[in-house]
A and B are shown apart, each in its own frame.
Chain A
Amino acid sequence: MLNTYTYPEFAYVQSPEQAAGTVKRHPVVIIGAGPIGMTQALDLAARGVASIILDDNNTVSIGSRAVCYAKRPLEIWDRMGLGEGYAARGIQWKVGKVFFRNDLAYQFDLLPEAHHKMPAMINLQQYYLEEELVKACDANPLVDLRWKHKLLGLEQTSGTEDDLATLTVETPDGIFQLQADWVIAADGANSDTRRMVGADFTGHFFQDRFLIADVVITKTEFPTERWFWFDPPFHRNQSVLLHKECDNVWRIDFQLGWDADPVEEKKPENVIPRIQAMLGPDVEFELEWVSVYQFACRRVDNLRCGRVLFTGDAAHQVSPFGARGANTGVQDCDNLGWKLALILKGDAPLALLDSYHEERAFAADDNLLNSTRSTDFITPKSRASLRLRNAVLELARTEPFARPLVNSGRLSTPTPYVHSSLNTPDETPFNGSMKPGTNCADAPIQKNGPNGPESAWLLNQLGNGFTLLSFGPGALPMSVGNVTAQVLEVGKDILDTQGILTQRYDAQPGTVYLIRPDQHVAARWRAFDATAAQAALQRALALH
């Protein structure tokens, strides 16, 4: 097989605590150095919290795996200085084509909303993504990334004010123990941590298998488009997705069905003719990587089990339709980081962590709902639903009304925490989408630089704490204990020269938004009121 990528091997280093034979206690230990674990460590570091990441391997993702990254994760990585590099390196596609049997059913243009720093989505092999995360972790003094550290056992105390977890870890130098105030399980769908704490992982709405191939198209020009086939002649009764990646690599996902034999399907003599039929006889290609991926749709009953917090696929597993796995996992980190940092500093009560489960289980259920709907369209479960599905696809050729019913996966978008107990409900009417619990929309702004006003973006101005975004003068900084919400004044600190910020936030002179450290709206008012702002900040800290 061809290799466009050389997998790095990261050095194992014996930790001083293992060498010394002492049991040390750490604030946070993260299990798994995948995209989620490393993002979590970097987010905690930005909030001043040191963490250790343990990984049983010593390289990045094998194969392209999670290949689509959406705007919100890119915005989160942008806080860590990685977003611009990913956006520049990733592939952006605009045209999508939907095929049914032998023919094109219709094509569409994504037409993403303008005036956002980050694109609606990019395609990028997971190993490129992880490579940059590893570099950022290595460069960060608050992140201790330890390769070849395998978690063997986990025990935790419960019922005291000062609970902790004791981890038994195996390295090439033997077995040792360390302790943690908090353990973050980011060790994927087959999480050992989850098994060790005995957390229920239920759901099983459906299960399926996919054959995933990275293919290098060597000589032919092939358009940068997303192609999705329903029931194609080269793979009857199943679906196929073709996506462009970097370096002339293309990703192909063949749905196999649950009954297929993965070993047989993976053999090159079975894979290659199928890909040739799909790309056409003139296209020259070579296989780079083939894997069989199986999944079920499920989540843990509670994202917190004592001192163990579940994130990413360790917490929830969805179908691949809509790129909801890694994208939603990164948003778990975004939600958890600031809460854990405040609790570790003693600035917020443990109850704030209940909102991690409340908000992210709500988002996980929304993702499960969306991926179940996609799967029911792509894989009809009865003759009647197959007939309706095919009726939609046949109508879509000529009838625009049928096209929104075609569901080949809905791209992951953030789930607003509309019912969160941290929100303060609106007292006066607002238009637009920036309801309490919603992630802040970005907008182009101007700020003062050394040579006068310069172009910038709203999200880059929000910082790591709470912010009072004030449209015009009036707001004052608010404090609850050691937690302060700083004022960012539109018209003074930043300028809305294009009017897009004002429009996206339905702002009037005097409008104030209280924004959480994870760039989500906590509360908003038409005029600043110190008592109301204080109460809303308390509420967002679970102090009520």
Chain B
Amino acid sequence: MPTPSQLIRTPNIPGPDGFYEELIAAQRDLSDQQADMMLAKLVLILANHVGDRAVLSEALALARQNTLDTPA
């Protein structure tokens, strides 16, 4: 049995500044509505790439908890 994978919570993206620039640039010239739609599609595309249900559950829980813990 392979060990169940865990969500990577340590830095894992080579060249973080470049990635972030690309993420922002992907929304250039989009309306707010289009930008929201793009992010929704990005979530679905990446989720399919990850595929691992346990990792996805962990990522969903982290995103939700971090949001709830942040004062409005």
Residue ranges of A at the interface with B (Cβ–Cβ < 8 Å): 387-388, 390-392, 394-395, 399, 401-402, 405
1/0 contact string of B40-57 vs chain A (CB within 8 Å): 110111001000000000
In whole Å, how far is B46's beta carbon from the nearest beta carbon of chain A? 11
Task: Give Cα distance in the complex from A405 to B41, angstroms.
Answer: 12
**Residues of B close to A401: CB separation below 8 A:** 45, 48
Whether B40 lies near A388 (C-beta < 8 A) is yes
Closest to B41 in A: A391
Residues from 14 to 47 in B contacting A, C-beta threshold 8 Å: 36-37, 40-41, 43-45
Q: Shortest beta-carbon distance, B56 to chain A, in Å?
A: 13
Whether the Cβ atoms of B48 and A387 lie closer than 8 Å is: no
A388 touching B36, Cβ below 8 Å: no
Residues of chain B touching chain A, judged by Cβ–Cβ distance below 8 Å, are: 36-37, 40-41, 43-45, 48
**Closest chain B residue, CB of each to CB of A390:** B37
Task: Across the interface, name the chain B residue whose C-beta is closest to A400.
Answer: B48
Q: Which residues of A contact B48 (CB under 8 A)?
A: 401-402
Residues of A within 8 A of B45 (CB): 395, 399, 401
Q: Which residue of A lies closest to B33 (CB)?
A: A387
Q: Is the CB of A392 within 8 A of B44?
A: yes
CA distance A529 to B60 in the complex (A): 49
Measured CB to CB, the nearest residue on chain A to B38 is A391
Question: In the complex, which residues of chain A have a beta carbon less than 8 angstroms from the beta carbon of B40?
Answer: 387-388, 390-391
Residue pair B44, A402 in contact (C-beta under 8 Å) = yes
**Neighbouring B residues of A395 by C-beta, 8 Å:** 41, 44-45
How far apart are A404's CB and chain B's nearest CB, in angstroms? 9
Subset of 15 A-B contacts with CB under 8 Å:
A387-B36, A387-B40, A390-B37, A390-B40, A391-B40, A391-B41, A391-B44, A392-B44, A394-B41, A395-B41, A395-B45, A401-B45, A401-B48, A402-B48, A405-B44
Per the bound structure, the CA–CA distance linking A401 and B37 in Å amounts to: 17
Given contacts A387-B37, A391-B41, A401-B45, 8 further A-B contacts (CB under 8 A): A387-B36, A388-B40, A388-B44, A391-B44, A395-B45, A399-B45, A402-B48, A405-B44
**Cα-based distance from A401 to B36 in the complex (angstroms):** 20
Give the docked Cα–Cα distance between A233 and B53 (Å). 36
Who on chain B is nearest to A388 by CB?
B40
The residue on B at minimum CB distance from A402 is B44
A5 to chain B, nearest CB (A): 45
In the complex formed, the residue of A with least CB distance to B36 is A387
Return the 5 tightest CB-CB contacts between A and B, nearest first.
Answer: A391-B40, A401-B48, A391-B41, A387-B40, A388-B40
Write out the residue numbers on chain B whose beta carbons fall within 8 Å of the beta carbon of A394. 37, 41
Identify which of B36, B43, B44 gathers the most chain A CB atoms within 10 Å of its CB.
Answer: B44
B residues less than 8 Å from A402 (CB atoms):
44, 48
C-alpha spacing A395/B42, complex, angstroms: 10
Chain A residues with CB below 8 A from B36, complex form = 387
* Distance in angstroms between the alpha carbons of A388 and B37 in the assembled complex: 8
The CA of A103 and the CA of B43, in the complex, are separated in Å by 24
Give the nearest-CB partner of A387 in chain B.
B40
Q: Which residues of B contact A399 (CB under 8 A)?
A: 45
A312 to chain B, nearest CB (A): 34
Residues of B within 8 A of A391 (CB): 37, 40-41, 43-44
Give chain A residues whose Cβ lies under 8 Å from the Cβ of B44: 388, 391-392, 395, 402, 405
What is the minimal beta-carbon distance from A376 to any residue of chain B, in angstroms?
Answer: 15
CA distance A405 to B51 in the complex (A): 13
- Rounded to whole angstroms, the CA-CA distance of A401 and B48 in the bound complex is 7
Provide the residues of chain B in CB contact with A405, threshold 8 Å: 44
**CA distance in complex: A405, B48 (Å):** 10
Residues of A with C-beta under 8 A to B43? 388, 391
CB distance from B48 to the nearest CB of A (A): 4
User: Which of A391, A395, A399, A405 has most B Cβ within 10 Å?
Assistant: A391
Complex Cα distance, B48 from A395, in Å, reads: 12
For A389, give the chain B residue with the smallest CB separation.
B40
B residues within 8 A CB of A392?
A: 44
Question: Which residues of A have CB within 8 Å of B41?
Answer: 391, 394-395
Q: Shortest Cβ distance from A29 into chain B, in angstroms?
A: 48
Closest to B48 in A: A401
- Give Cα A394 to B37, complex, Å: 10
CB proximity of B67 to chain A, nearest CB, Å: 12
The complex places the Cα of A399 from the Cα of B45 at a distance, in Å, of 9
Minimal beta-carbon separation of B35 from chain A (angstroms): 11
List the B residue with the shortest CB-CB distance to A399.
B45
Tell me the bound Cα distance from A15 to B48 in angstroms: 64
A492 to B31, CA, bound (A): 72
Cα distance A405–B44 in the bound complex, in angstroms? 10
